[in-house]
Amino acid sequence: MDTLVAVSTCAGRVLLSAIFIHAGVQKIRHHPLLVGVISNYRVIPEALAPAASWLLPPLELGIGAALLVPSSGSALTAAGVLLLFTAAIILNLARGRAFIDCGCFQSGLRQELGWQLVWRNGVLMAIALYSASFPARPPLVISSVAVLFGLVSYALYQALNALGANVGALRTLAAR
């Protein structure tokens, strides 16, 4: 296996794993709000929102853990879940409902729906599909570099999410 492919697929899995684990933990931390967030999307019957709020966090945690073991299945599952989330975002944007919270609970910040979330999820789906294409286990040295790269990528991902969640406040400050 080419070293670049080994590093990039492993780093992608670490990035996705951290995102899914963080998302699951945040949904557990903010569980009282999760039922309302799920209901606001209006893609499932409101009566099913409480059950979905209990199923979603363990699903995300499980995907996050599974991504740490190289297999096509875990990466494809991650891509599928991201596709469902993205479809729900696009449906609500088409309905003119951009004002609702995305439910990502990234750093506890409220983030409204927008095309930037669609693009973000598209990039994450591409990473998941790429990782599914090369489910090999690289040697320890390569894995160590890849894990470090994946964690740095995750830190950058979190910084960009925080920036995206605060873009309105930043525009207000810039206008002063």
Instruction: State pLDDT tens for residues 4-15.
Output: 888 899 999 999
- Residue 156: CB atoms within 10 A of its CB come to 11
Provide, rounded to the nearest whole percent, the portion of the chain with pLDDT above 90.
55
**C-beta separation of 157 from 101 below 8 A:** no
| Alpha helices, H only, the chain | 3-29, 31-41, 49-66, 72-94, 115-133, 140-165, 167-175
Is 2's pLDDT higher than 70? Answer: yes
User: Rounded to the nearest 10 degrees, how much is the dihedral formed by the CA atoms of 11, 104, 102, 115?
Assistant: -20
Tokens read off for 153: 């990528």
* Tens-digit pLDDT profile for residues 69-95: 888 899 999 999 999 999 999 999 999
- The domains of the chain are located at 3-158
| Distance separating alpha carbons of residues 35 and 172, to the nearest angstrom | 31
The reported pLDDT for the residue numbered 3 is: 82
CB 84 within 8 A of CB 63: no
- Interval 58-66 mean pLDDT: 97
* pTM for the model: 0.88
